[in-house]
Amino acid sequence: MKKPKPDVHKSKSLNPSLNGSVNINIVKNGGGGSGKEGPKSSPGSDFMSNEDIRAFCEDGRKKARQRAVERALDAEMLEGRLRNIPDTRGSMAGARARARRVTRWLKRVAQAEKLIAKWYAALYSAFEREYESELMKIGKARSQQKPQPRFGWR
């Protein structure tokens, strides 16, 4: 026995009407994170706990490290391009020196970003060192190393 095919397209119009409602929620600040307004606030920038300070320092360190790598690569690329530009007389003599004089500043920016990453790490370690006793009281500090038993022959 053959079953009759159901008529899927009952309406002949190309644009069938939609019944119901559509709810659209727009989140402006991107959800959780810190209490500061705007998309550029770093995680943990409200500094309410040890974890917030750690998250802030780690985020800043990672961003600075990435910028340092990008600026160093940009400096190399710029120097390579400028090396191939002749002077006003059409001479290539001194092109490398000119390129180095120009890109020296971008290389310094890359070095500064590298130092910024280092200082973010130093910031968190200084925080832990200065506030270690308070952190131990609330149980958020590093676990203390237990002394290892000495190895004996007997």
How many alpha carbons lie under 13 Å from residue 80 in its C-beta half-sphere?
6
Report d(CA 60, CA 44) in Å as an integer.
11
Is 131 within the bounds of a domain?
A: yes
Q: How far is it, in rounded angstroms, from Cα 105 to Cα 86?
A: 21
- Is 93 inside a domain boundary? yes
CB 132 within 8 A of CB 141: yes
Question: Would residue 127 count as lying in a domain?
Answer: yes
Q: Is residue 129, in this structure, part of any structural domain at all? A: yes
What residues make up the domain containing 65?
Answer: 50-138
Q: Using CA atoms, how far apart are residues 29 and 36, in angstroms rounded to an integer?
A: 9
Contact 110, 75 (CB under 8 A): yes
Q: What is the pLDDT along the chain (154 residues), one digit of tens a residue?
A: 566 666 555 555 555 554 545 454 544 444 444 445 555 777 888 888 888 999 999 999 999 999 999 999 999 999 999 999 998 888 899 999 999 999 999 999 999 999 999 999 999 999 999 988 887 777 644 555 666 667 667 6
How many residues are listed for the chain in this entry?
154
The total number of structural domains in the chain stands at 1
**Residue 102 located in a structural domain:** yes
Could you give the C-alpha distances from 29 to 20, 39, 40, 103, 124, in angstroms and in order? 29, 6, 10, 38, 27
Q: Does 101 fall in a domain?
A: yes
Indicate whether this model's pTM tops 0.85. no
Domain for residue 30, yes or no? no
Question: What pLDDT does 142 receive?
Answer: 52
